Amino acid sequence: MASVISIDLGSSSVKLVLSGARSARGESLEQRSRPVAVSGATASPLGARLAALDALLQDLGPQEGAVWATTLGAESVSVRLVDMPFADREQIGRALPFELEGLVPFDLADFLLDWRISELRGGGARVFAALAPKAEVGALLGGLDAIDVDPRLVMLDTDALGALARGPGVTAVVDVGHSRTLLAVARDGQTLGARALSFGGGALTVAIAQALTLPDEEAEALKLGLHLAGAMRPEAISINPQAPDEQVTPSGQAAPPDLEKALVALREGLTPWLAELRGSLIGLEDELGVGIDELVLCGGGALLGGLPELLGEELGVPVRRVELSGGLALATDAPRLALAQAVAQRAAAGGTSLSFRQGEFAFRGDVAILRSALGYALVAVGFFAVAALAMFAIRAVGLAQDTGAVQEEIAGLVTGAFPEVTADRAKQPGMARTILLEKNDALRARVDALSAVVGQDPPVLSLLKEISEQMPAHPEVVIDVKEMSLSAKAVSFKAETNGFESAAKIEEALQRFDRFKQARKGDEKKAGDNVSFSMTIPLGEAPVEGADGEEG
């Protein structure tokens, strides 16, 4: 596949990982990062992160043919585990939105849904579903488009983190960022359940800065120089025997002034986070019915000295920092790059990663490229065919006095324009003209076929125009189309109108038009003050029985 460029728009820094074209595991070849100014423990604004990304891309240069991938933060996404009584994907796709309506306190029309089967259970299935606000996805894609980035995949970050879980055991991947902590419980590279905690390493920096009256930059440097054993167990700080007035940290480094204040601030910041982390992991174990075998730490917070040991003691499971592969394995700040590496692996491997390029935000880059290439190809074919015919005519007139020479010239022109034609065949009397007529007819047939598809108006727009023209007049009937799906066989849509009678009028109006005489409505039900219904309009000869349409 093409090379992959994964983007991590982190809350305090932007990271890029460039992965090789031939590696199915997304082995990284190169990484770039750029810090983003932050204020306190909150995430930097999206605009600031996009500006940092733009600066990285300017340094990187053009990346023709690359596949771009990024993530949407789990803190703005609703994740649900839904048990379905059947395992057929089509049935699940139809029934899942109705199941979710009863589980979430918002209108599904404002959200994008992606899901996958995470576990088969008897005759049913457990579904891992994620709902992303359209406004969030639109803002992200709009900002990326402004700097000429069109990601094929917009993943859920906690789902991507599951790629860092290796082996058949159950692994909890914990990404400690600046403004949030992500949890992904995964098995064999697939996320089973996820959480996002509104706490990150930035809160510890702020606590130290306030305790010691330091700028955030100095507090951050001090934090990274401390060891958590000293924060949670003050007795771990010893006296330097060569300088009795100087304390020593477990790493052997001289302790900074006001060490006790810094350790107290660190301890007070860590205590509620540890409690929330422990409770969330226990909750995920109970919900999933699994036991966590190992915890893998990543993100900038994973660089805190003694954090793996501290979590191991607090949680009672083995804890280690993440181990990256490829060119990132030796990076000194490898944990910061873990999410970008996980996204690269997911994008390179394809498979079952969730992505919010759905519906109106569906990725269309490949279609645009194919359409452009087809257009250029047809123009080229037409040009060379016309040029060959013109050259033939000119040569035929110019060499009319010498039939043999004319025949040789014509044969040469024909074989030059159409290499699949042999010279012996082209030299046969009258054969050159026959060949040119055949090629001309074939070209005309292709042009006619293309014209039938394109015509003066795009066929989809023409079809939508016809449907619109058949609708009852407003305000007699009010219709709000929520979803629409078009195929060669049928048009289907889900809509709301101002009553059951109005739904019937819409069906009758469509049926009066000969092309839509097989239109059928279904799934009528009350939706607040309105009535929701589905409409299927077969476009073929035979009616489509029981079709509810596909989600648009």
Helix (H) or strand (E) holding 535: strand 530-538
Q: What is the mean pLDDT of the chain?
A: 80
Check pLDDT > 90 for residue 126.
Answer: yes
Residue-wise pLDDT tens digits, 448-493: 554 444 444 456 777 888 888 888 876 778 888 888 888 878 899 8
Cα 450 to Cα 447: distance, rounded to the nearest angstrom: 5
pLDDT at 406: 64
Judge contact between 320 and 335, C-beta under 8 A. Answer: no
Check pLDDT > 70 for residue 286.
Answer: yes
Domain 461-538: CATH superfamily is: General secretion pathway protein M, EpsM (3.30.1360.100)
| More confident: 236 or 133 | 133
pLDDT bucket at 53, cuts 50 / 70 / 90? very high
Check pLDDT > 60 for residue 91.
Answer: yes
pTM, to two decimals: 0.63
pLDDT at 242: 43
Mean pLDDT in residue range 275-283:
95
The single-letter DSSP state of residue 227 is: B
| 494 CB burial (10 A radius; 0-12, 13-18, 19+) | buried
Provide the residue type at 198 as one letter: S
Cα 138 to Cα 110: distance, rounded to the nearest angstrom: 11
pLDDT bucket at 50, cuts 50 / 70 / 90? very high
Token pair 């955030």: residue: 216
pLDDT bucket at 543, cuts 50 / 70 / 90? very low
Token pair 């407003």: residue: 474
pLDDT at 369: 42
Cα 70 to Cα 173: distance, rounded to the nearest angstrom: 18
Nearest to 21 by CA among 63, 83, 84, 77: 63
| Parallel/antiparallel/unpaired status of strands 4-9 and 67-72 | parallel
Provide the residue type at 230 as one letter: G
Residues 6+ apart with CB under 8 A from 161: 173, 175, 182, 184, 186, 191, 298, 338, 339, 342
pLDDT at 545: 44
Residue-wise pLDDT tens digits, 178-219: 999 999 999 988 999 999 999 999 999 999 999 888 898 888
Residues carrying CATH 3.30.1360.100, the chain: 461-538
Mean pLDDT in residue range 89-97:
93
Residues 6+ apart with CB under 8 A from 61: none
| More confident: 302 or 252 | 302
pLDDT at 263: 83
Residue-wise pLDDT tens digits, 390-428: 454 445 455 445 566 667 777 777 777 777 777 777 676
